[in-house]
Structure 1
């Protein structure tokens, strides 16, 4: 089970000085971490936006942006204004001329960027439960946005063989805010808690 600790991620300053980005994951992982559109086909990151201004262009990419802290980002895309409230994912083209204004102060956002025609990214915000675990499957990331939660390895839906004594389940691991859990279809991670979780899905586009 892979847990990506937000506190251990390096902050990359924006070229325009308007914020910093922390990369949670990208593919291929060996690609340059902060070169727009160069060398990777998808990236999941969290950005702190502290100054109004232009966003970097990502030609040939598709973007999903979600405000995860702060009240409002006023996003302009090719001249059209879109007020983005907390926990409301918004999709737009990386080819577009985009800029952001901060009418209520600094914000933090979750970014999912995928190469058009190769991968498609999705972001869903769900409310966690202490009674029913939420599984994170292959091609997904579960990111704790708010509240308290823990993750444990599941069974991937497999039932123990008849007569098998099974193995002792591992103790759940506590997640901190903005920690990410990489999904798997084997020993599928399962998250329990109270609060809100972002589920990011990266799907390969069929030929």
Structure 2
């Protein structure tokens, strides 16, 4: 079990130069945009426009703050995405553009390399203590609203935008909300090669 503090996240420019992204975690550690297996980041989107293209990448987008965006993903009807919407998955290598609904947003972006990794993203409103486990891979829990206590022999508090990483053999993490918590639970799994 590892804890990542929001103050330690790395900020870098977007691939297309249109803004900045805050990298929460990447694998392997220190990987760049061309060689990651998976990457979890947040971005502040201030203007409408095209998304960066990521060849061979599957991605899932969620709105954390703001009124939301409408995504125009090639070959699909426009998708309206707000903070109340379920996370939206789409290929990172098809032409995609976004139109802001009413002002800037902050989004959560999960990306995995197709054919090597897969991912799931779940938004979880934490009303009572719950246990989270890593199912078959790595699980990252991002605290978005409120704060959460990780109950253990050495209890730790997670504040807004702090994250908890559980690896395959980590014990279950018991999370207790302090107030009403909002979490994103991101599952990351390797894809076994056929043969």
Within the alignment, does 1:90 sit opposite 2:73 as a pair?
no
45-54 or 14-23: bigger deviation: 14-23
More strand by share: 2
Provide the rounded CA distance (Å) in 2 between the counterparts of 1:16 and 1:39.
17
**Deviation (angstroms), 1:85:** 1.6
Residue correspondences, number: 186
State the SS of the aligned residue for 1:100. Answer: strand
Higher CA-based Rg: 1
Within the alignment, does 1:174 sit opposite 2:152 as a pair?
no
CA-based RMSD: 1.8
Residue 69 of structure 2 aligns with which residue?
73
76-85 or 93-102: bigger deviation: 76-85
Within the alignment, does 1:55 sit opposite 2:51 as a pair?
yes
Residue 156 of structure 1 aligns with which residue?
none
Provide the rounded CA distance (Å) in 2 between the counterparts of 1:57 and 1:117.
17
Residue 183 of structure 1 aligns with which residue?
166
**Deviation (angstroms), 1:16:** 4.7
**Deviation (angstroms), 1:53:** 1.3
Provide the rounded CA distance (Å) in 2 between the counterparts of 1:112 and 1:15.
15
Provide the rounded CA distance (Å) in 2 between the counterparts of 1:129 and 1:86.
18
1:134-164 deviations in Å (ceiling 9; x for gaps): 32425100001112211134xxxxxxxxxxx
Are the counterparts in 2 of residues 66 and 109 from structure 1 also a CA contact under 8 Å?
yes
Q: With structure 2 as the length reference, what TM-score do the two structures score?
A: 0.87
Within the alignment, does 1:134 sit opposite 2:118 as a pair?
no
Q: What runs of 5+ residues in structure 2 fail to find an aligned partner?
A: none
Residue 205 of structure 1 aligns with which residue?
191
**Deviation (angstroms), 1:73:** 1.0
State the SS of the aligned residue for 1:142. Answer: strand
Residue 109 of structure 1 aligns with which residue?
107
Q: With structure 1 as the length reference, what TM-score do the two structures score?
A: 0.83
Q: Write out the 4+ residue segments of structure 1 that deviate beyond 4 Å after TM superposition.
A: none
**Deviation (angstroms), 1:17:** 4.9
